[in-house]
Amino acid sequence: MLLTIDSGNTNCVVGLYEGETLRAKWRIATEPRRTSDEYVVWLTSLMALEGIERSAIRGAIVSNVVPAAQRAFDRLCRHHLGIEPLAVEQAIRSTDVPLRVARPEQVGADRIANAVAAHAAYEGALIVIDFGTATTFDVIDPDGGLEGVIIAPGINLSMEALYQAAARLPRVPLAKPERIVGTDTVSAMQSGVYWGYVGLIEGLIARIKAERGQDLTTVATGGLAPLFEQSSAEIHHDDPDLTLRGLRLLYEADRARS
């Protein structure tokens, strides 16, 4: 089985692939101080619930955007699982993914995985929206090349900033309000953030299409993608396992060329 680790700024998503089948997927809060011992206890316990032995893991690939957490992932794989982890930065050398940006070294590992998986699953030019700590809009050419990106504050980050900066505004949960115009502080804040974010999504997609002079298929991923897909016809596909699938494809490409 293949262990895929997608460690973002807020959450770490771990998946286990048996061939092309995602057997299990789990999510844990990102904590740079968490040790490899803590990770292996957490992972082993969850695997046991699925009836999977730790010895079944024969390979691993890691996408990590939190440098302080890398040592724990490396030790988890090498010390506890007895396997050498493959980093996305290594795997990309075995693929033909064109990074047509000014600073290719600045492209996040998760975004590379998203581009690989999206190109494999969908035809034509694409926009991949990843709803994470930041919301990214990656533009991908029909040949799979990454053309560029828009990076906006994530919606949870926006809500937290509003709470932190305004003394009399409460911390409110993210939700789709029943009405556009709120009738109290909570519903007003929820409407402003939620529908304002829908406006941001649709406005940026429209401007990308206008600038490029072509239609593009929009693929959304990340935990909050379903919340916005239901409110915008501009989001064509919700693909929650896009990043993990991209990691699997990168691992397979690397092994095929080794």
Residue in 110, 130, 239, 254 annotated catalytic: 110
Asked if 241 is an active-site residue, the reply is: no
* Exposed/middle/buried for residue 173 (C-beta within 10 Å: 0-12, 13-18, 19+): exposed
Residue among 160, 162, 152, 197 at smallest CA distance from 176: 197
Alpha carbons 163 and 142: distance in angstroms, whole number: 41
Asked whether the beta carbons of 223 and 238 are under 8 A apart, the reply is: no
Q: Which residue has the tokens 């990074």?
A: 99
Alpha carbons 115 and 64: distance in angstroms, whole number: 16
Structure tokens at 257: 């060329």
Active site residues: 110
